[in-house]
Structure 1
Amino acid sequence: MLITSYNPTELGDTLIAILRPDSADQKIETHATVTRISDAANDQTLGYNFFDVSKTLGQLDANGQVHLTQAQVDQLNDLLKANDFEPELVLDTDPKFVVGYVESAEAHPKSDHLQVTKTQVGLDKPLQIVSGSPNMQADILVVVAKVGAMMPDGLIIWPGELRGVESDGMIVSGRELHLPNAPQRPGALILPENYQPVGAAFDFDRAQTLFTA
């Protein structure tokens, strides 16, 4: 997993690279302009902070999530190696926001408002996703934020549990996707029939006109 973000207004010329979810106990190690954050229990890398990153990648025209090229990942790995860190960054090109088809939606055994869905996203088997959307039901097309997605507000989707039931992803609303004129209330974004093939990367440009003012 590799999720990168750049927010020069808040953090200056610093690229944040996230590989794994945060842990309770962390270890921080800095060599020159690179800081490694790791899990103190098992030494797995959680992420890196690359300071003065424009000296390595050039000027980044971004404010939020950055989608790096393979060449840029190679440059960062060279920087890690030069600073005695493992060159462990791997480019992740798998689309994280995809069209999903809800095969089934059943009541959560420990909740009166959550539903446990089986949602196809073009993989060998459907994802189990727990949803609190009041309009959730079977036989609809939706937008799924897969594990590793960064939402427009900066939230990262990791595998988790909701009241004891595993959930691998999130079925999202137009509001959560920051689509123009989306209703400002809870509810999954239900796509028109045959809007896009199941498993296809969600077309954010086309979606700008999904809601009318």
Structure 2
Amino acid sequence: MIFTYNKEHVGDVLMVIVKDSKGGKLAAERRGQAARVFLSETGETVAWNIFAVSELITVKGSGQVTLTDEEVAVLNTVLTNEGFTESLINDAAPKLVVGQITALTPHPNSDHLNICQVKVGTDTSIQIVAGAPNAAVGLKTIVALSGAMLPNGELIFSGSLRGEKSFGMMCSPRELSLPNAPQKRGIIELSDVAVVGDAFDRAKHWQA
């Protein structure tokens, strides 16, 4: 679940993205301070808009933001009061983390993609299909997990590339809008002292 807020360009609206719409036709229903966005064909909810959200909670930051469980409870009260039966589930875990490639095999249906097994926590590994030319076993980098939103607004969801499942993305400096990012292709290369699973910290993990 992605919480995103941009008061300057969108207004005082908290957008809550529940799942990837995959380009499906969308419809919406608004009730008071909340609107549900759903797939026209199935009725499945893909997003919520909470209007005049600053009247309800204090949203800190712009772009992808994190909320406390207490703040999400306030929003759920609004949904209930407006007659919606669904509720929001908070996930405050970091979505940009240090990862390490532990295995890499060529994609069977591509001449430039690799299927990578990437450790993103003490006991957690995920599969990521990547085309970075510098991807290599042992490399530590920054991983955008499913549910991340990049600085350019791109949303990261689990999916597949040419028939192989992929559960995130390994990021280049440009994709994270880092200062003085090199213009060549390739994912971020972190030092060996970077700790797998740590949340991405620009000051800590990037020296321009």
Fold match (TM-score > 0.5): yes
The reply on whether 1:50 has 2:72 as its aligned counterpart is: no
Higher strand content, 1 or 2 = 2
Paired letter, 1:75: V
Query: 1:65, 1:10 → 2: CA distance?
Result: 14
Who is 1:32 aligned against? 32
Aligned length: 207
Paired letter, 2:190: L
Written as runs of structure 1 = structure 2, the 5 A alignment for 1:86-165 is 86-122=85-121, 124=123, 126-165=125-164
TM-score for both structures, normalised by structure 1: 0.90
* 1:9 shift after superposition: 2.1
Query: 1:194, 1:202 → 2: CA distance?
Result: 14
Q: Decide whether aligned partners of structure 1 residues 8 and 125 sit closer, same or farther in structure 2, where only a CA change above 3 A counts.
A: closer
Q: Decide whether aligned partners of structure 1 residues 115 and 61 sit closer, same or farther in structure 2, where only a CA change above 3 A counts.
A: same
Paired letter, 1:51: F
Who is 2:201 aligned against? 203
| Cα shift readout 1:76-117 (whole Å, capped 9, x = no counterpart) | 111111100125111102221111110122211111111111
1:38–1:44 Cα contact (<8 Å) kept: yes
Paired letter, 1:119: V
Who is 1:82 aligned against? 81
| Cα shift readout 1:165-186 (whole Å, capped 9, x = no counterpart) | 1111001111111122221232
Query: 2:75, 2:203 → 1: CA distance?
Result: 30
Q: Give the CA RMSD over aligned residues.
A: 1.7
Query: 1:66, 1:141 → 2: CA distance?
Result: 25
TM-score for both structures, normalised by structure 2: 0.92
Determine helix, strand or coil for the equivalent of 2:79. helix
Q: Decide whether aligned partners of structure 1 residues 43 and 12 sit closer, same or farther in structure 2, where only a CA change above 3 A counts.
A: same
Query: 2:185, 2:126 → 1: CA distance?
Result: 21
* 1:4 shift after superposition: 0.9
Identity of aligned residues (%): 38
Query: 1:163, 1:87 → 2: CA distance?
Result: 34
- Uncovered stretches (5+) of structure 1, i.e. residues with no partner: none
Query: 1:123, 1:45 → 2: CA distance?
Result: 33
Who is 1:67 aligned against? 66
Query: 2:140, 2:128 → 1: CA distance?
Result: 14
- Uncovered stretches (5+) of structure 2, i.e. residues with no partner: none
Query: 1:66, 1:155 → 2: CA distance?
Result: 14
- Higher mean C-alpha deviation, range 185-194 or range 85-94: 85-94
